[in-house]
Amino acid sequence: MKRPRVLIVDDSSVMRKIVERSLRQAGLEIGDVVEAGNGIEALAAVREGAFDLILSDINMPAMDGLEFLRQMSKIEGAKGTPVVMVTTEGSESRVVEALSIGAKGYIRKPFTPDQIKERVSPLLEVLR
């Protein structure tokens, strides 16, 4: 089976590395990982090629994670891509908003690899 292609969206390059490391530490067999520093870069990446999973921050400059979700849902071929929000944002209303516009889950920073696995595994299982 082809390993899932993952897009990690966060304005912190350190956090992008930590998210990728956590996915691998959790034992998830992922393939290519592409990084984006905000929603605009993420949209460009999504237009260039398909992903099996997207992990996105909410609070980012230029374009935040919620606007990215809205814009992504208009891109043919990207609509069904599962997106999990990874954020410090503790507001329930922001989480509900993210879920209402298509996010499949939510991980609050700080997080452990096990917490990432718990949210992401079921989404990757569907690909098998």
Binding flag, residue 24, other proteins (CB under 8 A): no
Contact pick of 91, 100, 122, 127 for other proteins (by CB under 8 A): 91
CA 37/CA 112 separation, integer angstroms? 22
Least distance in Å: CB of 34 to other proteins?
A: 19
Residue with tokens 């809205």: 70
Residue type, 41: E
Which stretch, 15-23, 28-36, 41-49, 119-127, contacts other proteins (CB under 8 A)? 15-23
Q: How buried is residue 56: exposed, middle or buried, by Cβ count under 10 Å (0-12/13-18/19+)?
A: buried
- Binding-site residue total for other proteins (CB under 8 A)? 24
**Extended beta strands in 17-128, E state:** 33-36, 53-56, 83-87, 105-108
When binding is defined by CB under 8 A, the residue of 49, 100, 108, 127 that contacts other proteins is 108
Candidates 46-54, 72-80, 103-111, 119-127: pick the segment binding other proteins (CB under 8 A): 103-111
Sign of CA dihedral 39, 121, 80, 32: positive
Q: In the complex, which residues of this chain contact other proteins (CB under 8 A)?
A: 11-15, 17-18, 21, 59-61, 87-94, 108-112
